[in-house]
Amino acid sequence: MNLALTITLVVLVLLFARCSYVMFRRVESWEKHRLDPEELTGILDGMLWKVEHAADWERLEDMRDHLRRGLARVSELRHDVGRVELRSTKRA
């Protein structure tokens, strides 16, 4: 009885460890994908598709508000003279 219980517990712990590792790797991959500026087009297309198919005016306005705030932040970054590291990468 003790041997069967021990084996069962070891298998469950190993299974839990494997699931935790896989979940951690997926979250890490998702974070890397989500924060990549080159993926913005795909993210926006997905948002538009979701809002269009949900047919929800509130979601549409919420998305519009998020986009407006994001574009305002980009405009601030572009015109901030104090960001020397950002300005040094600007093409002439």
Q: pLDDT for 34-82, tens place per residue?
A: 777 788 888 888 888 888 888 888 888 888 898 899 999 988 888 877 7
Q: What is the DSSP string of 69-89?
A: HHHHHHHHHHH-TT-HHHHTT
Q: What is the dihedral of CA 28, 40, 68, 51, to 10 degrees?
A: -90
Q: What mean pLDDT do residues 20-26 have?
A: 95
Kindly indicate the confidence band of residue 5, based on its pLDDT and cuts at 50, 70 and 90.
Answer: very high
Regarding whether 90 and 72 lie in a shared domain, the answer is yes
Regarding whether 48 and 12 lie in a shared domain, the answer is no
Handedness of CA 29, 35, 37, 40 (dihedral sign): positive
Confidence check: pLDDT of 30 > 90: no
Regarding whether 25 and 1 lie in a shared domain, the answer is yes
Domain containing 41: what range? 37-92
